[in-house]
Structure 1
Amino acid sequence: MRVIIQRVSSSQVRVGDRQIGKIGRGLNLLVGIAETDTEAEVDWMVRKCLNLRLFPPKDNASGRWEHSVEDIQGEILVISQFTLYGDCRKGRRPSFDASAPPAAAEVLYDQFVEKLRQSGLTIQTGEFGAMMQVSIENDGPVTLILER
């Protein structure tokens, strides 16, 4: 499982002309599911995303990131993105052989979202398998790659 985690001031996702998800301060998560992923990877990733200290204190005196998205009661936008497993090492067209098949990926993606919702935070999502336009106002910028 791979997640691109971005600290954001705001983020939104559109499918066609419909806005289907929008958040304020928090995290934008781009989520890729590998064919070998199980619920164990989902559980680990949920804990990591909720508990990583990515936010400075309000006074920002230390410059250190001391708070998690849970600590600040931030919001999370979760976007499925199978292209995170695109392999570009050979040829000119990416191979997506390491990505989970759509049906299996959707089950794990839904588990990931549901477990995030159990935190009580506002969780918004894109539409699994749809062509989406994602607007991200990256704060910092802070962007990290998580892999399990």
Structure 2
Amino acid sequence: MRAVIQRVTSASVTVNQTEISRIGKGLCVLIGIGTDDTTKEMSYIVSKILSLRLFPSSASSSSSASSLSLPSNPTPIQSAIHPTTTYKNTEDNQPDHHLTRGNNNLDQQEEEKPSSAHKEWTKSVRDIDGEVLIVSQFTLMAKTKKGNKPDFHNAMKTDLSKALYEELLKSLKSTYSEALIKEGQFGAMMNVNISNDGPVTIILDTNDK
């Protein structure tokens, strides 16, 4: 079984000019089912879809995955070009330019450090309550070593693959959330619109596990 997992800001499926599914932030997953696949391979793919940490620490279902966390009340930075002057005493009232110049440069360097709150590859789709769009795609099983015409003999026959595909959907819904799992139309000609976030695309093959 093969799965192409894409982190998206949105994705939708249209059949016969009618939109049948749409998701916001989450994952769009293309699924290819091979002749030797069983529920064992299906369970592995389901687990990976829900567990892979493809989102940053700042991500949530309603915020941009690429947004950075900035300090709410940043401390003003004093200019290194015009350092603040201080006075040693009030009698001679002579400015001392040596007391603050070095500290200003250090303060500026500290202020310019990026926030450590934002970390990539921290959250799974479950962690952010994201949506998942599953689309069947037998062409993922194509063999292209010989000639230029794709060979689809490694793809499971339609009736058998449909049963396993539906079992995969059932497992995702029961393990995660029925309301957050959307699907395309099995066996139909579909227009799949994907807004890939990153882009981030992960390819899984159960033969490689």
Which of residues 72, 84, 99 is equivalent to 2:128?
A: 72
Of stretches 5-14 and 110-119 in structure 1, the one that deviates more from structure 2 is 110-119
Which of residues 110, 122, 128 is equivalent to 2:186?
A: 128
Higher-Rg structure is 2
1:81 and 1:64 map into 2 onto residues whose CA distance is: 29
Residue 65 of structure 1 and its aligned partner are, at CA, apart by: 1.1
Match of residue 28 from structure 1: 28
Residue 13 of structure 1 and its aligned partner are, at CA, apart by: 0.4
Residue 117 of structure 1 and its aligned partner are, at CA, apart by: 0.8
* Partner SS state of residue 146, structure 2: coil
Residue 61 of structure 1 and its aligned partner are, at CA, apart by: 3.5
Match of residue 52 from structure 1: 52
* Partner SS state of residue 12, structure 1: strand
Q: Gapped runs of 5+ residues in structure 1?
A: none
* Partner SS state of residue 22, structure 2: strand
Which structure has greater strand proportion?
A: 1
What RMSD in Å do the two structures reach over aligned CA positions?
1.1
TM-score by length of 2: 0.69
Match of residue 103 from structure 1: 159
Counterpart AA for 2:47: R
Q: Gapped runs of 5+ residues in structure 2?
A: 59-68, 70-115
1:8 aligns with 2:29: no
Residue 62 of structure 1 and its aligned partner are, at CA, apart by: 4.1
Residue 88 of structure 1 and its aligned partner are, at CA, apart by: 1.0
Match of residue 198 from structure 2: 140
TM-score by length of 1: 0.97
Give the % identical residues.
45
Aligned residues: 148
Match of residue 86 from structure 1: 142
Counterpart AA for 1:129: G
